A and B are shown apart, each in its own frame.
Chain A
Amino acid sequence: MAKKIRIPTPLRKLTNNEEIVEVNAATIGAAIVELQTRFPGIKERLTDDNGEVRRFVNVYVNEEDIRFLQNQQTPLKDGDEISIIPAIAGG
C-alpha cells in the first residue's frame, strides 16, 4: 500500500479536490489505471490516444522524471511519492 500521488490543480475537480491520493499499483502505468477506476475520466487527461503520457504532462517518482527511469514501466515501491506536473512552466 501507500504510494502517494500528488494531484495537480487542473485534475482536482476529478478527485473531489483531493490533493494526495494513495494507490497500490506496482508501476506508473498501473497507477494510472488505478486512478482511472477510482476517478473516471482521469486517464484521458494524462495519456493520449496511444496510451502514452501526454506531451505536456511530466510525471516524477521521488522527484525523478520517469523519462529518465522506465517511463510507464517504472516500478513503484511502498513510500514512493509520485508527482504529476504540467510541463508548461519556466524558461
Chain B
Amino acid sequence: MDKNDGFMKALKCRECGREYPLTATHVCEFDFGPLEVVYDYDRIRRALTTARIKSRPQNMWRYRELLPLAGDPTVGFKVGYTPLIKADRLAKRLGIRELWIKNDTVNYPTLSFKDRVVSVALSRARELGFTTVACASTGNLANSVAANAAAAGLRAYVFIPSDLEQGKIVNSLIYGAQVIAIKGHYDEVNRLCAEIAGKFGWAFVNVNMRPYYAEGSKSMGYEIMEQLEWHIPRHTVVCMASGSLLTKIHKSYQEFTKLGLVADVPFRIHGAQATGCSPISSAQKAGLDFFKPVKPNTIAKSLAIGTPADGFYALRTMKQTGGVAEDVSDDEIREGIKLLAEHEGIFAETAGGVTVGVAKKLIASGRIPADDSAVLCVTGNGLKTLDAVVGHAGHPREIKPSLREFESLLATENLTPVTA
C-alpha cells in the first residue's frame, strides 16, 4: 500500500468486489455497482483510541483516520460536532422514555449535514489535483459546495432544480458560485450531471467523487456515539433522499463496533420519507428489496429524489437492523417542524419535519417502544425553507403603540397586570 493513501487501501465495488485505484471514479466498469473506500482497519485500530479522539478539537476531523483523505484536511476544519440535545419535552409529547436530537441545523458553515460530506469531498478533490468542483443538488448540498469552495478558493458549479426555495438559491449565489438551474426535478438534474461529470475535468462531489463524499456522513454517527458516552443508540431515525446518510450512519456504528470503541449491541435504524416522494419507504412497507422510481411532489424538496441512488442499500440496512420506514404528508411535515420548534427550540427545515413526523408515527404505533430510547437525525435549518411554513406558523398580532390596545389584547387571554 502507498503511504500516500493514508488509511485507505482501494476503491471496491460493493456488488462484485473488484478493486480500483483511489481516483475520482464512482462506478464499477463491470456491473455499474457503486465503488466504496476500503480502509486498513488493523492500522486504524492501532491509531484511533477513545483517548486520542477526546484529545482532539471538537469537529468531525477528530475521527480523521476513518475519513477518506490521504493527508490533512484542507477544507472545512470547523465542520461537525454539532449538539446532541436530550429532548425531554418532545419525548414526553411523543410518549417515549428518552429522546435525543442530533442537531445539524447548526452545522458549520451552511447549517446542514452537507458540510460534512462536502469538506471531505473538497479536501479529497484538492488531493487529486482538481481546481473546479461541482454538484447536483436539492439545495443544501449546493449551499455547502458554494460556501466551502469559496473559502478554499476553488471554482464551483452547482446544478439545482429551478423550483427550489428562494432561501436555498440565494444561499448558493451569495458565495459567487456558478448556479445552473435546470428546468426539471432533481432526478433530471442528476441525470444531466452524471452525463457531464467526466467531460470537463471537474470534481463532481456526488458523482465522480461520491465514494469519498458519502463517507463524510459517517461523522454524524461517530459523534452520536461519542456524545452518548460511547454507546450506539437503540433506535435511530434518519430522513432519506438518496438513502446514503442512513447507510453511512449504519456503517459508522459498525466501524466503531469493529474497532472496539463501543459495545456490540443490537440497534435499529429507521428511515423517514415524505409521502409525496416515498420510493424507499413504499418498497420497505411492501417488503420489496428494490424500489420503484417515482415523480416527486412534496414540500420536502431537499428529500425529493424519485430515483434514490442508495435506495437499494437503505432498504437492506433497515432489513438487517430490524428497522422500518415510514412516510408523512405535507401537513404532517409542517406539524413535525412545529413540534420540534415548540418543544425544543430548534427550527428545522422540511426534512427535519419529516424525521420528527415519522418518529411520532413509529412511537405511536409501538414500532419504537415507549420504554425505549431514540436519536432523531435533524439535518438542516428551517431558515432555508421558510416558503414551506409561511402562513402555517400563525401571524403576529398587530396593534398601535397604545397601552389600551395592548391591555384589550391581553384581556382576550384572561391576563391582567400584576401591579394594579
Contacts and interface: CB of A to CB of B under 8 A. Distances in A.
Contact of A56 (B34, B198, B207): B34
A65 interface: yes
A64 to B, nearest CB: 10
Given A55-B290, A90-B186, A85 B191 contact: yes
Interface stretch (A6-14, A28-36, A72-80): A6-14
Interface in B132-169: 136
B190 interface: yes
B206 A86 contact: no
B309 A87 contact: yes
Interface residues of B, number: 39
Interface in A8-32: 9-11, 13
B308 interface: yes
A78 to B, nearest CB: 22
B33 interface: yes
A86 B29 contact: no
A54 interface: yes
B33 to A, nearest CB: 5
B15 interface: yes
A55 B293 CA distance: 12
A6 B195 contact: yes
Contact of A91 (B27, B28, B197, B242): B242
Given A55-B312, A56-B15, A63-B188, A90 B28 contact: no
B210 A88 contact: yes
- Please name the 6 residue pairs, one residue from A and one from B, whose CB atoms are nearest each other, closest first: A91-B242, A90-B190, A88-B34, A56-B32, A86-B27, A10-B29
Interface of B: 15, 26-34, 136, 186-191, 193-195, 197-198, 206-207, 210, 241-244, 290, 292-293, 295, 305, 307-310, 312
